[in-house]
Amino acid sequence: MELKITCIPGDGIGPEIIKEAKKVLDKVGECYGHQMKYTDILMGGASIDVHGVPLTEEAVAAAKAADAVLMGSIGGDAANSPWYQLPPELRPEAGLLGIRKALGLFANLRPAVLYKELAGACPLKEEISAKGFDMLIMRELTGGLYFGERKTVEENGVRKAMDTLTYDENEIRRIAVKGFDIAMKRKKKVTSVDKANVLDSSRLWRSVVEEVAKDYPEVALEHMLVDNCAMQLVRDPSQFDVILTENMFGDILSDEASMVTGSIGMLASASLNDTRFGLYEPSHGSAPDIAGKDIANPIATILSAAMMLRYTFDLDREAAAVEAAVEAVLKEGFRTADIMSQGCERVSCSQMGDLLAEKIG
Ligand code: NAD
């Protein structure tokens, strides 16, 4: 199979981690008989330096022409980089917002996995972390409070601000379908998170999710109020498989779930539209403090590439091979600096890529 992948190395550690992800993908291609066709595009600071803008129309066209986009990270050190002297619409982050919009990405997926070998990094009590966890937060990305009408007015000398939370049933249905589809590839459980005891938008959310669930009889559906979910994530994260939720709740819960893993260099993510197309990137930023030193952890990007194999290309076996390689290398005691612990062997970014590629096949 031919896999057309547009890569955005980006800024900071981005080019280093994308290089390692390509190394692993190339090995997957070699072992399983696929051809990787990469096109690299500039975005963020790298694009500002060359084109004066963080995202060009040519770059968007190249992204659209591919089956999937694999991104490193964009952005720099806001206190020192000249990119941040520019107006907001010309700064690196504007490129990211622009490409997400251009590609119609409405579903954000963030897995939070606690590997047994990294349990020491988990800030939860040992009796909780010992059970491990492997969940995925599916967040609606283009609706809700962040995109509703807003205004600030003054009434009788008192300032008043208003934000509106709106969802229509189609927006809810398309993300629910994605959530159930993905649960079918996992442990077949969906926890739909809302605030249906208070919000109309949540009551609609709940009823549309129930309608969609009828098409997935194998998937167990439960509803959970968002405040309870925030507690359950630290009380017993092992109970979750897919958490399906709206934009703002997902924003908050996905950061909470990331924190309980304790390892920022390990967290993958994906943003999908209503085709098989997706943009895959690590959850972390461009880490300008360690850029160019070959010490970054490439695993979040490599696990994002595994998500790409599974969700865009339907290559479950190949994705599982990449994930198994990560587990095996951790089990053998190899660690990049950010996840280093006593008794383990410290390796560089490129050595980690080599070790993972060696394990495939
Ligand atoms: P960051 O995630 O880049 O770094 C936070 C800390 O984690 C730093 O100490 C860094 O060295 C470390 N870290 C991050 N990733 C690592 C990895 N793979 N291996 C080892 N250590 C790692 O967050 P920040 O410092 O707040 O942001 C830096 C820049 O990244 C900013 O310009 C920000 O806007 C941008 N950013 C981009 C994205 C994106 O492209 N999607 C996301 C978040 C932040």
pLDDT digits (tens, 9 = 90+) for 153-207: 999 999 999 999 999 999 999 999 999 999 999 999 999 999 999 999 999 999 9
State pLDDT tens for residues 61-77. Answer: 999 999 999 999 999 99
| 171 phi, psi to nearest 5 deg | -65, -40
Q: Is the pLDDT of residue 108 over 90?
A: yes
Residue nearest to atom 16 of ligand 1 (CA): 265
| pLDDT for position 314 | 95
For residue 190, report the distance from its CA to the centre of ligand 1, in Å: 30
CA separation for the pair 342, 155 (Å, rounded): 61
> What pLDDT does 134 receive?
96
How far apart CA 162 and CA 149 sit, in angstroms, is 8
**pLDDT the model gives residue 187:** 97
Which residue of 48, 284, 289, 339 sits with most ligand 1 atoms within 8 Å of its CB, as the best mutation to test the pocket?
284
Q: Using a 6 Å cutoff on CB, does residue 55 contact ligand 1?
A: no
Decide: 45 in ligand 1 pocket, CB within 6 A: no
Query: Residue 361's pLDDT band (boundaries 50, 70, 90)?
Result: confident
Two tokens, residue 120: 């020491």
Angle at the Cα of 228 from the Cα atoms of 224 and 233, rounded to 5 degrees: 100
Catalytic residue among 168, 227, 236, 274: 227
Q: Is 287 touching ligand 1 by the criterion CB < 6 Å?
A: yes
Q: How far is the CA of 142 from the centre of ligand 1 (A)?
A: 23
pLDDT averaged over the chain? 96
| Distance from C-alpha of 203 to C-alpha of 155, rounded to nearest angstrom | 31
- Is residue 146 part of the annotated active site? The answer reads yes
> Would residue 189 show up in a list of annotated catalytic residues for this protein?
no
Q: Which residues on neighbouring strands pair with residue 38, listed in sequence order?
A: 5
Candidate list 19, 134, 146, 187, residue with the active-site label = 146
pLDDT at 346: 98
Is pLDDT above 90 for 226? yes
SS3 annotation, the chain: CEEEEEEEEECCCHHHHHHHHHHHHHHHHHHHCCEEEEEECCCCHHHHHHHCCCCCHHHHHHHHHCCEEEEEECCCCCCCCHHHHCCHHHCHHHHHHHHHHHCCCCEEEEEEEECHHHHHHCCCCHHHHCCCEEEEEEEECCCHHHCCCEEEEEECCEEEEEECCCCCHHHHHHHHHHHHHHHHCCCCEEEEEECCCCCHHHHHHHHHHHHHHCCCCCCEEEEEEHHHHHHHHHHCHHHCCEEEECHHHHHHHHHHHHHHHCCHHHCEEEEECCCCCEEEEECCCCCHHHCCCCCCCCHHHHHHHHHHHHHCCCCHHHHHHHHHHHHHHHHCCEECHHHCCCCCEECCHHHHHHHHHHHCC
Q: Can you give the pLDDT at residue 155? A: 96
Q: At 56, is the pLDDT very low, low, confident or very high (cuts 50, 70, 90)?
A: very high
- Distance from the first to the final alpha carbon of the chain: 17
Give yes or no: 168 in active site: no
The reported pTM is 0.93
Q: What is the pLDDT of residue 360?
A: 96
